[in-house]
Chains A and B, each alone.
Chain A
Amino acid sequence: MTTHMSKQFDIEMEAIRSNVLAMGGMVETQLARAVSALSEDENPELLDIVKRNEKDINQMQIDIDLQCAQIIARRQPAAVDLRVILTISKVVNDLERVGDEAKKIARKAARLQGNERLTRMQYYDTIHAGELAQTVLHRSLNAFARLDIDEAIAIYDADDEIDMAFDVITRQLIGFMMEDPRTISSALEVLFVAKSIERIGDHAKNIAEAIVQVVMGKDVRHASLEEIKAGLAERE
């Protein structure tokens, strides 16, 4: 009886994790669409597709939260299982935010299409940062799927790279705006895009922190990288 119960519980846990990762896959696809809208001329329906999928993502967040609440109420999980469930709520939150940012990027990209004042060449760095954010998000979700703590910690450095890119982009845009005030409105659009990308990097890092928390059983949200590494060494 108990083995049967625990097996059923394992299946339910796996279903929740799979749902989180499926939601992650949708968010990744949204972000990929948004970034490709920045880098090349896309069909005009793209924005509609992104908006429609955004609704699906929101619905998935609600569904997963409900599943988490139900499993806590019915099975009273303990230890690692409880940590995983509590973390999942946080991860899902971050994913939903990434979806929001992707939608914002797609909207701005639609406005920047065919812009004469500020060409793609001039916001190439922003596009590159967008691709970087895509990679970081992808890696953080892979680390979540594998509960891979080393990969999770490696994501911290990758996020720093995005933050640095954001600083560079800001300075570049200021340069364009000073050179030619007619670029100001487009440059501001690009700046918002860059800010969204920077936020996505932060959300990916939050997911990485959640993984460390699940595996180590320790809240590392405000700890420095050195402290985490020390904790990891202690554990081993």
Chain B
Amino acid sequence: MTLPPLYNRGWLLPSLVIVLTLIAGGLGGVWAALIVLALGFAGVTAFHLTHLYRLQRWTGSSLEHYTPLPEGAGIWGDVLAALSRREQKRVAFQTVQKRTIEQFHRMAEALPDGVVVLDGRRHIEWANGRAQQWLALDLEKDRGRPLGNLVRMPEFLRFLADDLDETVSEEAVQSQPRLLVIPPVLDTGKALALQQVPFGQGGRLLLVRDVTQYEAAARLRREFIASVSHELKTPLTVIVGFLETLQETPPAEMPEQTRAHYFDLMRTQAGSMQRLVDDLLTLSALETGAREKEEEWFAASPLLQSLQQQTQVLSQGKHEVMLTLPKEDTQIHGARDELASAFTNLLTNAVRYTPEGGKIALSWTVDGEGRGVFTVRDTGIGIAAEHLPRLTERFYRVDRGRSRASGGTGLGLAIVKHVLIRHQGELAIDSKVNKGSIFSATLPAARIKQ
């Protein structure tokens, strides 16, 4: 126990009162001493009470910022000055702390990922805006609620129930990310990748990443590979079947005619496999842009005339093939081979889907805005409206059997679309069932010169 030092200024007033009392007692007797004593201590008490009152009033002030402490005399001056210094320090510290917390929150919001802080029982402690949006949480309502009650997919619950080994080193945590990709959650339609790491006392940090686009791309790739395999398998099965028959049947038992027929069929199938592979290579070259673009100015008319001749050969005289050209020849800027293959694809389709005796009209015109329009109009079987939007998708076919029978690969229009995209052009399709179709490829004005 430490006694207050005697020179403490707090003792000054009471000592003064006692000294005055003694003097009064010496001069005027006991009554005078008593009166001086009473008045003196009343004065001391009043002095302290006023200061206490001021201090009490000050305690009602706001905690947020510094409010100057009341002034004081004597011992109160010392105490209030000390308190004032402490208060100033506290406020300064608090400001720094508040800024740090604000900065942390801003940082968490700026992160491209979602973050959820979970306690030991997997209850939500905190989540940043992205995590709330992606997992359809509302921190106002959901703080303290088990996360598993709101994100309920069985695989997510298993993921969450995983024990995180907290004794493992940081490197081990890094090297074994605990990852789960959840399929689009109903509310948000997002595919999310999750990872959790130990955090705080028994809690964990859940990191959420949006992988919707990766998932969509992966899905497309899977579907594409499945389609290609399927397309290649069909002709291959036929070829293998005939090969087995040819191998197992003694030559003597098979008429020459049958054998020749088998070889013909196998050749047809091998041909369709080859066309498919060629188309795939073309498409991949177009997509990756691997092939150097050999763009040049070239005249339209010779190309179109040769296309007309090709079409007539292809049609074997079964259709009437007409060509309309503008009076003055136009020049096109682009990769001649690519455009020729795109236009050929459109013409091949016209021949393929127009019954014998039908008409195929090709035309090359320059429209009012200077754009070049290549149009193929046929009187074929046409396409129902519901198929039009998906027609340029790879392997999309209106009628599988018919397309394959006529040697289609299912990639023709996809190639056309890609060639046109490379030339900033576009493909328009208009068609009526049993009336015919109009395919028009438009090239931008910048690529046309008259």
Contacts and interface: CB of A to CB of B under 8 A. Distances in A.
A29 B142 CA distance: 22
Contacts of A21: 148-149, 152
Interface in A18-33: 18, 21-22, 24-26, 28-29, 32
Contact of B149 (A29, A121, A134, A145): A145
B152 A22 contact: yes
B152 A25 contact: yes
Contacts of B187: 138
Contacts of A28: 152-153, 186
A17 B386 CA distance: 47
A55 interface: no
Interface string B132-153: 0000100001100110111011
B314 interface: no
B152 A146 contact: no
B154 interface: yes
B141 A146 contact: yes
B157 interface: yes
A26 B148 contact: no
Contacts of A148: 141
Contacts of A17: 149
B148 A22 contact: yes
Contacts of A193: none
A165 interface: no
Nearest to A22: B157
B141 A25 contact: no
Contacts of A134: 186
Contacts of B149: 17-18, 21, 145
Contacts of A18: 146, 148-149
Most buried by A among B142, B146, B149: B149
Given A28-B152, A32-B186, A138-B186, 9 more contacts: A18-B148, A22-B154, A22-B157, A24-B152, A25-B152, A135-B186, A145-B145, A146-B145, A146-B150
Interface of A: 14, 17-18, 21-22, 24-26, 28-29, 32, 121, 134-135, 138, 141-142, 145-146, 148
B186 to A, nearest CB: 5
Contacts of A146: 141-142, 145, 150
Contacts of B148: 18, 21-22
B interface majority secondary structure: helix
A184 to B, nearest CB: 23
Contacts of B146: 14, 18
Nearest to A138: B186
Contacts of B142: 146
B230 to A, nearest CB: 12
27 contacts: A18-B146, A18-B148, A21-B148, A22-B148, A22-B152, A22-B154, A22-B157, A24-B152, A25-B152, A25-B153, A25-B156, A26-B154, A28-B153, A29-B153, A32-B186, A121-B386, A138-B186, A141-B152, A142-B136, A142-B150, A145-B145, A145-B149, A146-B141, A146-B142, A146-B145, A146-B150, A148-B141
Contacts of A135: 186
A25 B149 CA distance: 9
Interface string B384-397: 00100000000000
A144 B186 CA distance: 17
Nearest to A56: B154
A230 to B, nearest CB: 25
Contacts of B141: 146, 148
B18 to A, nearest CB: 56
A146 B137 CA distance: 11
Contacts of A22: 148, 152, 154, 157
Contacts of A29: 153-154
Nearest to B155: A29
A224 B149 CA distance: 29
Contacts of A121: 386
Contacts of B145: 145-146
Nearest to A137: B186
Contacts of B386: 121
Most buried by B among A138, A142, A148: A142
Interface string B163-193: 0000000000000000000000011000000
A13 to B, nearest CB: 12
B278 to A, nearest CB: 28
A196 B186 CA distance: 20
Interface in B301-354: none
Most buried by A among B142, B146, B154: B154
Contacts of B153: 25, 28-29
B110 to A, nearest CB: 28
Most buried by A among B136, B153, B186: B186
B188 to A, nearest CB: 11
Nearest to B141: A146
B179 to A, nearest CB: 19
A126 to B, nearest CB: 17
A145 B150 contact: yes
A29 B148 CA distance: 14
A25 B153 CA distance: 5
Contacts of A138: 186-187
Contacts of B156: 25
Q: Which 5 A-B pairs have the closest CB atoms?
A: A25-B152, A145-B149, A21-B149, A138-B186, A26-B154
A31 to B, nearest CB: 10
Nearest to B183: A32
B390 to A, nearest CB: 12
A119 to B, nearest CB: 9
